[in-house]
Structure 1
Amino acid sequence: MWSSIDRGTRRYWKTVGRQVDLASEHAWLRAPISADPQATVADNWLATEAQRVGGRVARDPDAGLLPDIDALAGPGFDPARLHPTVRDFYEHTARWRMEAWVQWTPVFAPGGALITRLFGRRVGQLALPVRPLDTARGIDSRVETLLDADGTHRGAAWLRTARATGEYIYSGFYRATRLPGSAQPSVHVSFPMPLGTVQVFLRPEVGADGALRLVSPPGPFGADGAYVTIVEGARAWAARVPLHERFDVYPDGARLLRTDHTLALGRATALRLHYLLVPMGT
């Protein structure tokens, strides 16, 4: 039954999307996938991706989502204006622990619960917390870096699990990417799925007091925003989806960070999350 549902889901995205060439014109959409449609995603895709590129996975307790946030420097973003604590979090994410709170808009809560139950927990990916108590015991995370054969950084996997159950919530791949025709690099986050990905390109901005704002706004195909890709052998399809996110990462006191995360479908807010980010040992 689940195989039939998954095939139907992939068929839907192929129908509403467009065929793309990940080897050339649409290489900006190339991202790790979970190649086995029957396997749990979790962190299994990471070793497969390392083998595909002839590289290796590095487990560094000091690793960050970006080795240097200056990689995002561009006409719309000056990293020098960021608060030092914000920079430290992105360049040394593994040093930090997190707590999370969640609030769904009532009309979207049943859909969120259905997606988490039917897909998220089953495949070990995008299992969004539904109830506030789902994250009451906190979220465990680790960062693993994907390197080329010559040691070049290709991206970082941020793997987050519910502390109470050990179940995967998010398994994402982070890097800086420049979209076609854009002089401003974006934060590129991809979530491997069976034979595909969910990808978000986030535009960086500097907010008040050195805060970092990341936004995936509405726009045309090829601009910052959210995409679903399906990959079957040498053929691929991609669809832009009306999913919009905003992250505000800001300092709270001398060493703490907080993050307000809003997820909207079209113009309607579906989900709000709040994170407290604390350096290890604090």
Structure 2
Amino acid sequence: MTARRLSSRVDLSTRLFWRTVGTEIDPGSSRDAWLQAPSNRLGGAGDSWLDDLDAAGFVDDPGAGGLLADMAALDGPGFVAADLDDLVRDFYERTSAWSMDVWSQWNPVFAPGGAFVTRFFGRRVRQLALPTSPMSVSRGMTSTVRVVRRADGSRRGAAWLRTLVSDGSPVYSGFYGVETLPGAEDDQPHVKVAFPLEMGSVQVFLRPSVVDGGALRLLSRSREFGCEGAYITVCSGDRWFASRAPLREEFLVYRDDEYTLRTDHRLSVGPLTALRLHYKLSRVGDS
């Protein structure tokens, strides 16, 4: 059996697993519209989903785009964008104008599993290829933002593409937007990040808050269906299924005592921290 056929069977088996443990959804309905997200066609990988949208004329050229057009889109009962530090807000609204240096640290318990997933899944599908060695991120990541629009020209979201400078390998191909969740205890808008996969996606919903004099905290806890957390969606035949994943994430974006913008990112599996990432963010052209 060729490697390509084996990979195809593994991917099919993975989708069948998530179908079995998941709940059937209809992303085209008002009830499940919060789970709508781009996905790669059969055989697609990496940012081929964006190539398809670009070919259809729905993607702006790379420029000074941000992950969000205006952080005020997140204003709600637990968040007010006007309270954010100016640098934090500028990063999210003008992401293309920022570069990043990255440091990573795995929990030794999860490091072998992380290396396996990155090598045999992440690099093959060019998605969610989490850095497994501090040296792999020692030269930083490239950062490209492209705004995605609807047929009427309105903004649908933003694609954030990141690759390792050291070898050019893709790390993330994410789609960013704002969503209000049906199971949340209030009407607080959340940051939605979707990572398109073949015939499906991984989606993470993060609750924002302002802490420590203007820092941004984004928290994703895996709780009941319809609340903030991580979800996996798959298409099987012409039917869609969604399941919660036991992943938790926390981001803290803040200005340090030397007026440098930084981000601490923690990824947990259940109650245990699996990976910590630290980013130093710099405006392009700043010394």
TM-score in same-fold range (> 0.5): yes
Structure-2 residue corresponding to 1:200: 204
Shift of 1:48: 2.1
Q: Does 1:7 align with 2:9?
A: no
Contact 2:53 2:59 survives alignment (8 Å): no
Contact 1:64 1:94 survives alignment (8 Å): yes
Q: Does the residue aligned with 1:40 lie in a helix, a strand or coil?
A: coil
1:2 alignment partner AA = S
Residues 177-192 of structure 1 mapped to structure 2, 5 A cutoff: 177-180=179-182, 182-192=186-196
Shift of 1:50: 5.3
Structure-2 residue corresponding to 1:34: 40
Shift of 1:254: 6.4
Shift of 1:32: 0.1
Structure-2 residue corresponding to 1:84: 86
Structure-1 residue corresponding to 2:67: 65
Structure-1 residue corresponding to 2:268: 264
Deviations 1:81-127 (A, max 9, x none): 10000000000000000010000000000000000011100111000
Match of 2:152 among 150, 153, 175: 150
Q: Does the residue aligned with 2:102 lie in a helix, a strand or coil?
A: strand
Shift of 1:232: 3.3
Q: Does the residue aligned with 1:212 lie in a helix, a strand or coil?
A: strand
Q: Does 1:230 align with 2:244?
A: no
User: 2: distance between equivalents of 1:123 and 1:75?
Assistant: 39
Match of 2:225 among 212, 217, 221: 221
Residues 88-103 of structure 1 mapped to structure 2, 5 A cutoff: 88-103=90-105
Structure-1 residue corresponding to 2:281: 277
User: 1: distance between equivalents of 2:250 and 2:242?
Assistant: 22
Shift of 1:256: 2.5
- TM-score, length-scaled by structure 1: 0.95
Shift of 1:253: 4.9
Q: Does the residue aligned with 1:209 lie in a helix, a strand or coil?
A: coil
1:235 alignment partner AA = R
- TM-score, length-scaled by structure 2: 0.94
User: 1: distance between equivalents of 2:222 and 2:73?
Assistant: 24
Q: Does 1:127 align with 2:129?
A: yes
Contact 1:256 1:279 survives alignment (8 Å): no
Structure-1 residue corresponding to 2:3: none
2:39 alignment partner AA = I
Q: Does the residue aligned with 1:74 lie in a helix, a strand or coil?
A: coil
Contact 2:222 2:244 survives alignment (8 Å): no
2:7 alignment partner AA = W
Identity score, percent: 51
User: 2: distance between equivalents of 1:58 and 1:82?
Assistant: 28
Structure-2 residue corresponding to 1:107: 109
Residues 137-176 of structure 1 mapped to structure 2, 5 A cutoff: 137-176=139-178
Shift of 1:40: 2.4
Shift of 1:59: 1.9
Task: Please list every run of 5 or more consecutive structure 2 residues that lacks an aligned counterpart in the other structure.
Answer: 1-5
Q: Does 1:249 align with 2:253?
A: yes
User: 2: distance between equivalents of 1:99 and 1:212?
Assistant: 19
Contact 2:200 2:232 survives alignment (8 Å): yes
Number of residues of Structure 1 aligned to a counterpart in Structure 2:
278
Indicate the RMSD between aligned Cα atoms, in angstroms. Answer: 1.4
